[in-house]
Structure 1
């Protein structure tokens, strides 16, 4: 009542004749050109994908199993590359670098010659260790991470050098094992 038509469900693609859309079913001006068999030509944009069980017969794959595509990459996984940098735990940063900074602050505020000499000796030692870490890392084949080892050793000192020497020793043992080379 009231001049409104009941709602019509949208068209569903079926194996038989398919109309492009419900509003263009009439022939005449503004309608789609007729199909040679008398059906309307389907428009792809206005159609929904078919529901379950409504596939045309030529789309069904009878008697053929769906096979997975061949892998592009081989299934053999390559082992991960050994690490070239190992950060030291944060406690070493807090104690060694924090102690170096605290020593510098105390030497500056108290204007103590002994504290100043202690700070200069510690700083010289850290710089020397950092240079050694950089050279040793470059000679050991850790080229791109040599600067990281030097910066860490400058701040932390000997714990970083110990970690660097342990890493190089592990890499040397791993390279001499049978099957690794």
Structure 2
């Protein structure tokens, strides 16, 4: 039984990049800048927490892509997941599922 060829990499829609990276930039401005100093502590905490969550998601995306036979582009999936987070993981899972691969 042959499996369908799986696309090696799909880029996320532009609005995902704008939405997520814009949120990171806004948190960085509030947390590490002089804008809204009364919220700086909470913004720094949230920024660092979200950075760790995105890093964990990126590691998971790398492992998932590698197990699905996408070893050559696993770093691309990990980088996209680091930037776009959960949305990129959904795209990776959908791509793997649609082409009958198991991770």
Corresponding residue of 1:100: 24
Secondary structure at the aligned position of 1:172 is classed as coil
CA distance in 2, matches of 1:139, 1:82: 13
CA contact 2:6–2:95 (8 Å) conserved in 1: no
Which structure has the highest helix share of the two? Answer: 2
Q: Which runs of 5+ in 2 are unaligned?
A: none
By relative contact order (CA 8 Å, sep 6+), the higher-ranking structure is 2
Corresponding residue of 2:67: 139
| Matched length | 95
For the pair shown, the structure with the greater C-alpha radius of gyration is 1
CA distance in 1, matches of 2:88, 2:94: 10
Runs (4+) of structure 1 exceeding 4 A deviation are none
1:118 aligns with 2:42: no
Matches within 5 A, 1:3-14: none
TM-score, normalized by length of structure 1? 0.49
TM-score, normalized by length of structure 2? 0.85
Corresponding residue of 2:85: 157
